[in-house]
Amino acid sequence: MLTVSEAAKTVGISRGGIWKAIKRGKLSATKDHAGNFTIDLAELLRAYPQVDRQMDKEGSDSKQPSIDKWTGNRHSDELVDSLREQIDLLKYQAQALRDDVLHEREQADHWRRQATMLLEHQPEPETPPEPRQQETSLLWRKLFGRH
């Protein structure tokens, strides 16, 4: 968490500029137990993305000490590394889910094609057999009088 003065130095504007951003709602800040406003580093970088890009241009070696200075936390390097690992893991999981969805769509398309093929291939209707003419046997004719 940064004080208003630290946030102003970080983004290169005056304290008044930070206060105006807070009042306008561009930047959110919280009060600490002493009643002083503090600003989260992530919130500051969200409101002022050009600072994040400047940090990226400086390179990773110069980036770490400045984060230590901003947060005032001696374990911030470990925290940043941990967060990067979590981000990488989440990216990997998101890609795995995208792959699963793609595979399921391919399977659905395959079975849809199979069903369509079965529905379109209907066997030719069977023609009923020609009625056979009954052969009247001699016995039949004698019994029933048809000769």
* Residue ranges covered by each domain of the chain: 1-74, 75-117
* DSSP run (H or E) holding 147: none
pTM, whole model, 2 decimals?
0.35
Burial letters 54-86, b for 16+ CB under 10 A, else e: ebeeeeeeeeeeeeeebbeeeebeeebeeeeee
- Give the single-character DSSP code of 2: E
Q: How far apart are alpha carbons 21 and 13 in whole angstroms? A: 11
Question: What residue type is assigned to position 20 of the chain?
Answer: K
pLDDT tens digit at each of 147 positions of the chain: 788 888 888 888 888 888 888 888 888 888 888 888 888 888 888 887 766 555 555 554 444 444 445 555 555 777 888 888 899 999 999 999 999 999 999 999 999 998 888 888 777 677 777 766 666 667 767 777 765
Residues making up the chain, counted from first to last: 147
pLDDT for 67 equals: 45
pLDDT for 20 equals: 87
CATH class assigned to 1-74? mainly alpha
Q: How far apart are alpha carbons 45 and 79 in whole angstroms? A: 17
* DSSP run (H or E) holding 37: strand 37-39
Q: How far apart are alpha carbons 78 and 74 in whole angstroms? A: 9
* DSSP run (H or E) holding 123: none
